[in-house]
Amino acid sequence: MFFSKKLRLASAVLGVAMLSTVFAGCGGDSGSSDEFKVGANIEMTGNQANYGNAGLEGLRLAIKEANEAGGINGKQIKLVEADNKSESAEAVNAATKLISDDGVKVIVGPAVTANVIAESQVATDNKVPVIAFAATNPDVTVENGAVKPYIFRSCFIDPQQGTVMAQFASKELKAKTAVMYIDSSSDYSKSLGKVFQETFEAAGGKVVMQESFLAKDQDFKAALTKIKAANADVIFIPAYYEEVGKIVKQAREIGITATMLGTDGWDDPKVADIAGASALNNTYFSTHYFAEDPGAKSFIDSFTKEYGHAPNVFAALGYDAGKLLVDALKRAGSDDPEAIRKAIEETKDLQVATAKVTMDPATHNPIKDAIIIENVDGKYVFKSRIAPSK
Amino acid sequence: MNLLRKNDLIMLGLSLVIFAILQVLITTKVLTSFWELNLIIIGINVIMAVSLNLINGYTGQFSLGHAGFMAVGAYTGVVMTTFFHLPFIVAIIAGAVLAGLLGFLIGLPTLRLRGDYLAIATLGLGEIIRIVIMNLDYVGGAAGFKGITHHTNFAWVFLIMLFTLFVIKNFVNSSHGRACIAIRENEIAAEAMGINTTKYKVMAFTIGAAFAGVAGCLFGHNFYIISPGSFTFLASFNYLIMVVMGGLGSITGSIAGAFVVTFISAVLAPWPEFRMIIYALALILLMFYRPQGLFGYMEVTSMGIFRRIFKRGHES
Amino acid sequence: MSEVLLKAENVSIVFGGLKAVSDFDFYINKGELIGLIGPNGAGKTTAFNLITGVYQPTTGSIEFAGKSIVGKKPYEITQRGIARTFQNIRLFSELTVLDNVKIAFHSHVKYGLAETVFRVGRYFSEEKQIEEESMKLLKIFKLDGHAYDQAKNLPYGAQRRLEIARALAAKPKLLLLDEPAAGMNPQETKELMEMISWIRKEFGLTVLLIEHDMSLVMGICERIYVLEYGMIIANGTPKEIQENPEVIRAYLGGEA
Amino acid sequence: MDFLHQFVQQLINGVSLGSIYALIALGYTMIYGIIKLINFAHGDIYMVGAYIGFFAITRAGLSIVPALLISMVVTGILGMIVERLAYKPLRHAPRISVLITAIGVSFFLEYASMYFVSPTPRTFPEVIPSVAFNVGPFIVNGQQMLIMGITLVLMLILTYIVQKTKLGKAMRAASFDVETAQLMGINADRVISFTFCIGSALAAAAGVLVGVYYNSIDPLMGIMPGLKAFVAAVLGGIGILPGAVAGGIILGVIEALVSGFISSTFRDAAAFAILILVLLFKPSGIFGKNTREKV
Amino acid sequence: MGTMLTINDINVFYGAIHAIKGVSLEVNEGEIVTLIGANGAGKSTILRTISGLLKPKTGSIQFEGQEIAGMPAHEIVKTGISQVPEGRRIFAEMSVLENLELGAFTRKDKDGIKADMELVFERFPRLKERIGQLAGTLSGGEQQMLAMGRALMSRPRLLLLDEPSMGLAPLLIKEIFTIIQDINKTGTTVLLVEQNANMALSIAHRAYVLETGRITLSGDAKELAASDEVRKAYLGG
């Protein structure tokens, strides 16, 4: 009576589902020995999917090229992808799955700092090396002053960019006052702001106002109206391109003519699309590479051929991480995570799309130049190349 | 009445057997750490769903802000362990107390509202909690709280889940619980039966919030980093879906709902493009063909199969 | 001289400028069975709502057992000993018949929250007592066979009986019945009449009922109040009421 | 710029943002008025409207007005289809089932769109040159004027439809009392369908305008504005058309003022706080009438 | 005079409640038929079943030879039946004019509607005075008139009236009943549900007395008015 037919069916389904969980759990083997299993923990859906997916395209291309060139000692590299839904909790989930179920020996990603930090504990516990391709926050590889043995990155770090832009503002632009407009939902943005302020004020400038917004905001006019009133020489906006495009557009609309400065998050053709070429004039940003650099050219060509559209900076960084990984795998010669870890740490003078990199074993950050680009009528114009300060 | 106690003991024994089996499977690595993690998430979701069910399903008060209380518990807990270096259990209790207190303070004025108005007000309150946390630099603001020590494991989650189920089941099977159910069924008649409806609505809301706080604390200590982004109204929707999918007013249902939703999410993980589409369609179809959820108001203990196994009938 | 249990003096209530009940004067002695009748919209249910605290009177006083109950919430009034049924049945329809009755014992439960949650102390003994008393009530109302059925699945007449059983479980001194026979057939109505008389004696109750079924009202009430346009137009024995020209006019219409 | 100056400038910003909330809120409130459903998918309808407008402009090369009209028509039909397939079968189901279905529809629209148009934001072409007009010391740009202008026109048209046309009257009658409306010979199903059509068309217009205004659209763009619009509708008194407009504008202005004078990170919190205060002190909204359940 | 409406053995349920138990009745063209009985006897339920708001579980309802049981309410209006619901249910937030326009919702003949509107105003001059006023601000009697005028706007052949006297002062009741008689004289058949039995019987041709879902008496209105049976049905004894 109480236990109707339908209900019986429902619980049967439930039971099967439970059992299958248990059995599915038994399936995690370490993979066959004729391929290298590499994990990609990526923001495929959710708020940061744009950045994650672009990086994944670059990564896939690097792996594909390596496989076409004969793989690693005749073995093919197999990329196992997992979606972290742009949430740090899910990044842990995805990393755990990659390690325990898919048996990967090394992981590339995620794109965003917070997600990499979430993942790093699981990777460290399981002694699986990680290469972060776009997480520029210093805390990614270092904790309490000590380097995290298994966590690496293939991009430069925020202090470098922040310092570069602050020096650029005070020395080249002779700016005395600055406003910072920060994405307070992003560690990236916040830490860049901090470094910029320190450097800029040390050089005699003054940050007269700091405003904040949140990722995915649409309307910035209210805060910009306030910023306009501050009348500063430069406005520093360390943020990602989606918001940057809208901010620049709306700033110009309400009559802000001041110079705007940005960071690598600006490096995407979308900024010009959204803001409009003329609005973007009188803006500068730091980034990882310039399209006419050696190495970059061939990457851009093959990327465009592969996907039918030009790469953005995330794609380039994803590609870099892939190159770095392939190089390390070759030198490691086995899929032993410890060997891979050691090989990554010993990376030296490796030509990737954005630069020639050497891994700093003390910080697990690559030693890389930063580039400053000026937007002129919708085109990137190379401004300067600045080596890391130390 | 011994029957009640006997039933309890059987359920408890059964649960401990399941626990032992799973724990052995985990320790021997038969269940990989990915599946351990999923079991942990299921456990946390069960606590969330059952505590929300107390508010939505049993007391009939439409709350859409449950993730907010989870956030309070999570942040309180990690502050306790990370900044004050207090034991995990103290953090859990603190998370429960603070979330419960907040639930009480919020519930007192807002539970005068009914139906959709209450729903939108609680949704708003959940968002306000999240935004306030987002603006607190003390806990890392929008970028999240980092450097949390990993305390949560399967044993903690399972035992606390069991405790939650025990408390909430006992609550709803008492005069207090019946008062809440009466409010759901007919508030005016409940009041006419001598039930102080405001008191019981607030009580259910407070207890529900406190357990959400517990779940939050477990959640926070599982992921090394927590950010306000994990506690948006979409997360509240997700818990509501678990409750409705399992059946409003059924603890068994909430367990099943939490299980099914977490499971679907894990199984569909390799197809991120389709995952949400399938999930959405499943939800709509469920509402078409089984709007009362998988279990309706039913509990496992009252089901034929269970009674048959333990040779137990209704006393009548 | 019998003791007055409920006394209303000069009670009026205004809804949006309209007087729904005005200058309502009325008393019930302990142990009486009183009927309250009147045409549709005369304000009978409003009077019930005033007594049970659902509405607060605009003016006037209501005393129960010698104490004012104006300003008290419905649950407080129930706890003081007035229980009611509703015109449009308000059962806890998804719950079992037994649970419906158990709920009404609420104000007499002494065990606390901790005893509940950890199943210690008075919990089991009181629950046992509640269950036994509930079953006893169900038996009286011939509902014990349906104890585990959902209330909504009961036949209509049985639902009406369940509402009364539930009200009794609150252990009232005064029972208010709002159209207890509505929707019942003559046979059911007759049984209901007998039951009401019986429980009144058995439980030592005072009863006030609103009813349209005159066979019931005239059959069991000792005294009847007639309301029209929110005012009491007559008060007397069934015989007196049936022959009162004011009442006939109120019911059948003045202009013929 | 002094305080007053900034204040007025923020008001201008707030009203243009509020106009968009108002357009979406109108649909919310009409649908709630007639079938008492919080249509959580309404924000996603707005997103679909934005995409249809986007493709009409970029693929078919249309200018803004025809693109707006096409988007309104197509999205209006989509609204009717959604109602027909997802909500009509649940006309007599418990409220919570319909609500969960609405959440399901919302997810479906979001992720199906994501599948078809990719999660990458699209850049809306510049259909209106972004010229800034200086009105005294204040700045209003062309797009703000477009938004306010089109919103005004649409509201006038809506007022005409609802007040003067036969279907509009049927709509008002049915949302006041479905049963009696049926006794007048009004086909409730058709009226509900029509309501979804108009509400969705207005949301589509808001979507296209947002595309023009902010230049960028993506499949998840509807979540927050949808929620805000619902807040606006409740603020004004749900089911009341002028209430939705007022609620939208009030919300827009509050957000602009909070962003301008406190911090934009508290903007959403302020919006919800105002909502809760209004609900606590006047549960039926600013324009609503209080009702109580009959005992 | 032929039979206009034939109800044959209908049974209607409200959930578990068997509200109407095998009721049959007839209304002939040109008549005023009244259905009287105490509260809760099921009078309104019968009217709501005729107009399609409720569906009978069994039994048939034929209007001018056409089976209308189970037809949706908005279609039944088109066949020529119009109902003035209990409690009037005017559209309070719309003007008097709009209420009347809604009454003519099914019609397309603009001139005819205009003419009928004039007729309504002739019959209820007070409505014309308040043409632009919100219907909710009218007095009870005016609202009853509006509800009747609204029903007449569909130019019904059968008018169903549900408790037109409810809540009205005696003088007004008299006025309303005179108007009902007038309406009937101009060719509209009327089925009147009333609790005020004396008043209803005074204007009706025939009557049915309903007790707890069953018809217990029927016949010539004048004869019923004279007998003591009706009083018993109401007051018992």
Binary contact (E73, D173; C-beta < 8 A): no
Q: Is the pLDDT of residue A27 over 50?
A: no
pLDDT in tens, E216-234: 889 999 998 888 887 777 6
Binned at pLDDT 50, 70 and 90, residue C165 comes out as very high
Q: Position B1: which residue type?
A: M
The rounded percent of chain D whose pLDDT value lies above 90 is: 57
Closest CA to B74 of B235, B183, B218, B187: B218
In a domain? residue D268: no
pLDDT attached to residue A389 = 62
Rounded CA separation B56/B247 (Å):
11
pLDDT attached to residue A6 = 46
Please report how the helices B33-53 and B2-27 are oriented relative to each other, as an axis angle in degrees rounded to 10.
Answer: 150
Instruction: Suggest the residue from A22, A116, A189, A194 to mutate for an interface test with chain B (most B CBs closer than 10 A).
Output: A22
Average pLDDT over residues D161-188: 93
Q: Position C80: which residue type?
A: R
Q: Position C84: which residue type?
A: R
Please report how the helices B251-267 and B33-53 are oriented relative to each other, as an axis angle in degrees rounded to 10.
Answer: 140
User: What SS3 class is residue C158?
Assistant: helix
Binary contact (A92, B31; C-beta < 8 A): no
Rounded CA separation E39/B238 (Å):
49
pLDDT in tens, D251-281: 999 999 998 888 888 888 998 999 899 888 8
Average pLDDT over residues D197-217: 93
Average pLDDT over residues E177-188: 94
| CATH number of the domain encompassing residue E220 | 3.40.50.300
Residue A275 belongs to what H/E stretch?
Answer: helix A269-275
Angle (nearest 5°) at CA C113 between C109 and C119 = 90
In a domain? residue D251: no
pLDDT in tens, A245-270: 999 999 998 889 999 999 988 988 88
Rounded CA separation D265/A336 (Å):
47
Residue B193 phi, psi dihedral angles, 5° rounding: -90, 10
D→C contacts (Cβ < 8 Å), by residue, are 295
Residue C240 belongs to what H/E stretch?
Answer: helix C238-243
Q: Is the pLDDT of residue E144 over 80?
A: yes
**Which token pair is D249?**
């504008």
Q: Is the pLDDT of residue C250 over 60?
A: yes
User: What SS3 class is residue E138?
Assistant: coil
- Please provide the CATH number assigned to the domain covering A35-156+293-368: 3.40.50.2300
Please give the model's pTM, rounded to 2 decimal places.
0.88
pLDDT attached to residue B313 = 40
Q: Is the dihedral of CA A66, A69, A72, A74 positive or negative?
A: positive
pLDDT in tens, A123-132: 998 999 999 9
State the DSSP code for A113: H
Q: How many CB atoms lie within 10 A of CB A335?
A: 22
Binary contact (C252, E174; C-beta < 8 A): no
pLDDT in tens, C61-91: 999 999 999 999 999 999 999 999 998 889 9
Asked if chain A contacts chain E via 3 or more Cβ pairs within 8 Å, the reply is no
Residue B246 belongs to what H/E stretch?
Answer: helix B233-246
Average pLDDT over residues D113-125: 87
Residues of chain B with pLDDT under 70: 1-5, 300-316
pLDDT attached to residue A7 = 45
In a domain? residue D159: yes
Rounded CA separation C208/C174 (Å):
8
Chain C stretch 176-195, residues whose beta carbon is closer than 8 A to a beta carbon of chain E:
179, 182-186
Rounded CA separation C183/C219 (Å):
18
Binary contact (E197, C179; C-beta < 8 A): no
Binned at pLDDT 50, 70 and 90, residue E184 comes out as very high
Please report how the helices D42-58 and D64-82 are oriented relative to each other, as an axis angle in degrees rounded to 10.
Answer: 140
DSSP strands (E only) in chain C: 4-15, 18-29, 33-37, 59-64, 67-68, 82-84, 174-178, 206-210, 223-228, 231-236
Average pLDDT over residues A20-27: 45
Q: Where are the alpha helices (DSSP H) in chain D?
A: 3-35, 42-58, 64-82, 95-117, 142-164, 166-176, 178-183, 188-214, 223-236, 241-261, 267-281
Asked if chain E contacts chain B via 3 or more Cβ pairs within 8 Å, the reply is no
Radius of gyration of chain D (CA): 19
The mean pLDDT value of chain D amounts to: 89
Binned at pLDDT 50, 70 and 90, residue E170 comes out as confident
Tell me how far apart the terminal alpha carbons of chain B are, to the nearest angstrom.
12
Indicate the number of domains in chain B: 1
Q: Position D204: which residue type?
A: A
Angle (nearest 5°) at CA B72 between B68 and B76 = 165
Instruction: Suggest the residue from C150, C214, C237 to mutate for an interface test with chain E (most E CBs closer than 10 A).
Output: C214
Closest CA to C140 of C170, C109, C162: C162
Angle (nearest 5°) at CA D253 between D248 and D254 = 100
Q: Is the pLDDT of residue A18 over 80?
A: no
Contacts of A11-16 spanning 24+ positions with Cβ under 8 A = A11/B305, A14/B256, A14/B259, A14/B260, A14/B294
For chain A, the domains span 35-156+293-368, 158-287
Q: Is the pLDDT of residue A28 over 50?
A: no
Q: Is the peptide bond before E170 cis (omega within 30 degrees of 0)?
A: no
Question: In this predicted model, which residue has the larger pLDDT, B198 or A291?
Answer: B198
Beta-carbon contacts below 8 Å between A and B: 126
Q: Position C145: which residue type?
A: G
Burial zone of D184 (CB within 10 Å; 0-12 exposed, 13-18 middle, 19+ buried): buried
Angle (nearest 5°) at CA A341 between A340 and A343 = 60
Average pLDDT over residues A296-325: 91
- E170 to chain C, any CB pair closer than 8 A? The answer is yes
Rounded CA separation B183/A117 (Å):
46
Rounded CA separation A246/A248 (Å):
6
Q: Please give the residue of chain E at the shortest CA–CA distance from C251.
A: E196
Residue E83 phi, psi dihedral angles, 5° rounding: -120, 140
In a domain? residue D29: yes
DSSP B150-191: ----HHHHHHHHHHHHHHHHHHHTSHHHHHHHHHHH-HHHHH
The mean pLDDT value of chain A amounts to: 86
pLDDT attached to residue A246 = 92
SS (HEC) of A28-72? CCCCCCCEEEEEEEECCCCCCHHHHHHHHHHHHHHHHHHHHCCCE
Binned at pLDDT 50, 70 and 90, residue A48 comes out as confident
Rounded CA separation E138/E149 (Å):
14
Binned at pLDDT 50, 70 and 90, residue E205 comes out as very high
Question: In this predicted model, which residue has the larger pLDDT, A48 or C172?
Answer: C172
pLDDT in tens, D224-242: 999 999 999 989 988 888 9
Residues of C in contact with E237 (CB under 8 A): 214, 218, 242
In a domain? residue B61: yes
Binned at pLDDT 50, 70 and 90, residue A152 comes out as very high
Q: Which domain range does residue B41 map to? A: 2-232
Q: Which domain range does residue D109 map to? A: 12-221
Q: Position D257: which residue type?
A: L
The rounded percent of chain A whose pLDDT value lies above 90 is: 47
pLDDT attached to residue E160 = 96
Domains A35-156+293-368 and A158-287 share a fold: yes
Total count of residues recorded for chain D: 295
Closest CA to D176 of E99, E105, E54, E93: E93
pLDDT attached to residue E213 = 86
Rounded CA separation C161/C101 (Å):
11
pLDDT attached to residue A24 = 46
E18 forms beta bridges with E13
Instruction: Suggest the residue from C50, C84, C91, C116 to mutate for an interface test with chain B (most B CBs closer than 10 A).
Output: C116
User: What SS3 class is residue A206?
Assistant: strand
In a domain? residue E113: no
Rounded CA separation E151/D185 (Å):
11
pLDDT attached to residue D179 = 92
C36 forms beta bridges with C210, C225
Question: In this predicted model, which residue has the larger pLDDT, D172 or C254?
Answer: D172
pLDDT in tens, D241-252: 899 999 999 999
State the DSSP code for B145: B
Minimum distance, in Å, between the CA of residue A160 and any CA atom of chain D: 28
Residues 6+ apart with CB under 8 A from E231: C248, C252, E237
In a domain? residue E170: yes
Residue A299 CA: distances (Å) to CA of A56, C175, D142: 15, 88, 41
Q: Which domain range does residue E171 map to? A: 3-88+155-234
Binned at pLDDT 50, 70 and 90, residue D295 comes out as low
- Please provide the CATH number assigned to the domain covering A158-287: 3.40.50.2300
State the DSSP code for B54: I
Average pLDDT over residues E17-39: 90
Indicate the number of domains in chain D: 1
pLDDT attached to residue A70 = 87
Q: Which of E73, E78, E101 sits opposite D169 (nearest CB)?
A: E101
State the DSSP code for E135: G
In a domain? residue D4: no
Rounded CA separation A362/A373 (Å):
30
Residues of C in contact with D295 (CB under 8 A): 45, 49, 54, 86
pLDDT attached to residue B126 = 95
Question: In this predicted model, which residue has the larger pLDDT, C2 or D221?
Answer: D221
| Ramachandran area for residue B19 (φ above 0: left; ψ -120 to 50: alpha; else beta) | alpha
pLDDT attached to residue D291 = 58
pLDDT attached to residue E97 = 95
pLDDT attached to residue B52 = 97
Q: Which chains have 3+ CB pairs within 8 A of E? A: C, D
Residues of B in contact with D98 (CB under 8 A): 287
Which residue's entry shows tokens 């129960």? C64
Residues 6+ apart with CB under 8 A from B301: B7, B11
In a domain? residue E138: no
Rounded CA separation C86/C78 (Å):
14
Average pLDDT over residues D82-96: 90
Closest CA to B193 of A380, A300, C168: C168
Instruction: Suggest the residue from D184, D240, D291 to mutate for an interface test with chain E (most E CBs closer than 10 A).
Output: D184
